[in-house]
Structure 1
């Protein structure tokens, strides 16, 4: 190689050729010499930082300038190459399951079941109000607490009324002075009955020959005693037990409500139907009612009596009213129920087999359907809604537009 350089210099060639030759020689020498590959690892470094303020970092012990806590010693360890020798070997293609089947939704019309949550409520048609037919003073109360059960014909209270006393005296006067005037006698007796006396009480006055100072008022129906009026409603008279507001010695005026009787032999099931299903819910449709706290109990059958023309502001639902018989008093006011309505029309939408319900890995915001089946409808949160069906299922959604 030295001879080659000397030869080129002696021949007087351009210096550029010399440089080119030297570069070629260096490349040849580099290719013929193998250098061993060396791994370099960073050494561990120590520093001090605050547990509450990790942005505070120092190379010596001390206190945090923010909170005053002692700094904690930390160490940055050297980088370690990952060891992949313990990783499992991928399974062969022969072990891959081949029984997985894919299904596609189909558009069809299916008979569905509309499921609606609800609650048991009073039937206002069974309310019986006991009002004072005459003004007077309550001398004695025979019922003292809300929801105290009473039977028809049971005493509720005794009242002293100057008006009743006067009418009794008029009847006795007619009996004494004009006993043969049946028209006048009938008119006097009828007036006492209209003022609240029973036929038996009128006969007792005629038989004794003297007026009764206290007149007993009897219950016109069986049920539970409550109060009535704005004050009673504000106090939760229909929801809470407690003493009655009226007491012995209180004065009442003519027409004033004194008590209210509630008969629960018939109750309402108030079902919340979503606005999207209202078009398929009509009065007269069959409804199956199940109790949420007793799902094993026998379901109750009823019919939609009324769909209220009002959608609540808190949820896009309307109330469907179902009348239920409660002669055995098994249904309690406020009890949660679930109603399943059988609409007369079919629902058209995308359907998939019930066996195709999604398992782990379904889209975020959806949960597996818990009912037997459902129809899919596009929801505002990207998930499909569901409607119960007999042959299909789809994921349920927990978004703002889900049911």
Structure 2
């Protein structure tokens, strides 16, 4: 009897243990299910947005469809609604969809319409002051010889017309003087032609008429002959200036040094390379004398504006370092038919008088080239985004609050206004400040203009 009782107690204990284990297992499953449901609910309520475009709202991680930045989780965000699962749309025909890369959502943006008017336009072109190559005189040795004495000692030393530059001794020149003196001593009437030829040869070798008469009066050859400056200006060595017979663009690519160039203080006081006692060859350039009473303003006109620039058009030149000074008025003298190096510009040449040397070589200028009044659609210059080879504006889509980047072709400019030649009509609405919508030019993909 006691054995059966013990067996009954053992069986009951076993069933109790099994029941407790089953209850624990069921409770753990319920807790896990509740945790999974809570996690799912939390994930469903997470909202992700773009730091640069807060109007972009998603319920899962990803990238911003506008700028491509990674979406970040919005702290304390409410459950995402169907309308906030995509870009918000406020127009009557808008739907909750992801905008294409060339669209923007209209939000706190001022819209304007192009204005049809006839504006007096102008082109602005940068430039620099350069020498007038027509006023550069080369002082070359007409005969071989030795420099006996120099009367100029440094670059950019001012000289006057007729001022002595150097004395040179030449055996060739001494021989020609002796021939002239021999013909004078013979007193043969038949030698008159030879006498005139001898005088002419000395003139061609560089002697002046006064120097030839002095030789005849002294009846002895002059060993050292003086060379004088033919013009007034500044003395330079040939190596200090590019070859004026080269390409026109060489003066911009390698401008001649001047008082405003870098290191000009050293150049002006640097000794000349030519020395007393140095021999020179026939035809060798010894000096150059540059007259700056007239200079050039070489302006860089963009290739897109070249068609509007013609010879004789009025231009106003303003010195960049003297913005308050009255502009200098001149006209376009020449439009060079080549592009200036690698830049997509054409050089326009303007002749400027420079009495007293007020304009310095290398001085930067800004020119305003006046154009005839241009009729058409005009918009603020801030409404146009420059993309290098293209220009775009942000136009509002028909019956929508979305903005579409469309390409345009611009024309003349007048102050803060720019003419739109192609891409818009008078009924279009565009943003007044397109730069406000641009975070990166890489995402702008202009679409073809569609008539509304």
Is TM more than 0.5 here?
yes
Q: Say yes or no: does 1:324 pair with 2:352.
A: yes
When residues 387 and 211 of structure 1 are mapped into structure 2, their CA distance, relative to the original with a 3 A threshold, is same
Q: Which residue of structure 2 lines up, in the alignment, with residue 388 of structure 1? A: 413
Could you tell me how far 1:183 is from its partner in structure 2?
2.5
Q: Which residue of structure 2 lines up, in the alignment, with residue 146 of structure 1? A: 155
Which of 319, 324, 348 is 1:291 aligned to? 319
CA deviations 1:110-150 (Å, max 9, x no partner) are 33111111111111111100111111111111112111111
Q: Say yes or no: does 1:338 pair with 2:366.
A: yes
What SS does structure 1 have at the residue aligned with 2:334? strand
Give the Cα–Cα distance (whole angstroms) in 2 for the partners of residues 338 and 243 of structure 1.
35
Could you tell me how far 1:103 is from its partner in structure 2?
4.2
Q: Which residue of structure 1 lines up, in the alignment, with residue 174 of structure 2? A: 165
Which of 278, 283, 289 is 1:261 aligned to? 289
Structure 2: runs of 5 or more not aligned: 1-74, 77-109, 244-249, 259-263, 395-404, 419-431, 443-452
For the Cα contact (< 8 Å) 1:365–1:383, is it kept in 2? no
For the Cα contact (< 8 Å) 1:287–1:342, is it kept in 2? yes
Give the Cα–Cα distance (whole angstroms) in 1 for the partners of residues 158 and 393 of structure 2.
50
What SS does structure 2 have at the residue aligned with 1:185? helix
Q: Which residue of structure 1 lines up, in the alignment, with residue 183 of structure 2? A: 174
Which of 136, 149, 152 is 2:145 aligned to? 136
Q: Say yes or no: does 1:351 pair with 2:360.
A: no
Deviates more, 1:174-183 or 1:326-335: 174-183
CA deviations 1:186-237 (Å, max 9, x no partner) are 2211111111111111111111111111011111111111111599879987
Deviates more, 1:287-296 or 1:231-240: 231-240
Query: What TM-score results when the alignment is normalised by the length of structure 1?
Result: 0.62
For the Cα contact (< 8 Å) 1:229–1:257, is it kept in 2? no
| Residues 2-401 of structure 1 mapped to structure 2, 5 A cutoff | 103-178=112-187, 180=189, 181-229=191-239, 238-239=257-258, 240=264, 241=267, 242-312=270-340, 314-344=342-372, 346-347=373-374, 349-352=376-379, 378=392, 387-389=412-414, 392=417
Could you tell me how far 1:301 is from its partner in structure 2?
1.0
When residues 109 and 117 of structure 1 are mapped into structure 2, their CA distance, relative to the original with a 3 A threshold, is same
Structure 1: runs of 5 or more not aligned: 1-78, 81-100, 367-376
How many residue pairs match? The answer is 288
For the Cα contact (< 8 Å) 2:147–2:277, is it kept in 1? yes
What SS does structure 2 have at the residue aligned with 1:197? coil
When residues 159 and 237 of structure 1 are mapped into structure 2, their CA distance, relative to the original with a 3 A threshold, is farther
Q: Which residue of structure 1 lines up, in the alignment, with residue 101 of structure 2? A: none
For the Cα contact (< 8 Å) 2:384–2:392, is it kept in 1? no
Determine which structure has more spread, i.e. the larger CA radius of gyration.
1
For the Cα contact (< 8 Å) 2:296–2:352, is it kept in 1? yes
Give the Cα–Cα distance (whole angstroms) in 2 for the partners of residues 396 and 156 of structure 1.
63
Structure (1/2) with the larger helix percentage: 2
Give the Cα–Cα distance (whole angstroms) in 2 for the partners of residues 170 and 396 of structure 1.
84
Give the Cα–Cα distance (whole angstroms) in 1 for the partners of residues 369 and 386 of structure 2.
27
Give the Cα–Cα distance (whole angstroms) in 1 for the partners of residues 406 and 362 of structure 2.
35
Could you tell me how far 1:379 is from its partner in structure 2?
7.2
Could you tell me how far 1:328 is from its partner in structure 2?
2.5
Could you tell me how far 1:253 is from its partner in structure 2?
1.3
Could you tell me how far 1:251 is from its partner in structure 2?
1.0
For the Cα contact (< 8 Å) 1:289–1:337, is it kept in 2? yes
Query: What TM-score results when the alignment is normalised by the length of structure 2?
Result: 0.56
Q: Which has the higher contact order (CA 8 A, sep 6+)?
A: 2
For the Cα contact (< 8 Å) 1:120–1:337, is it kept in 2? yes
What SS does structure 2 have at the residue aligned with 1:342? strand
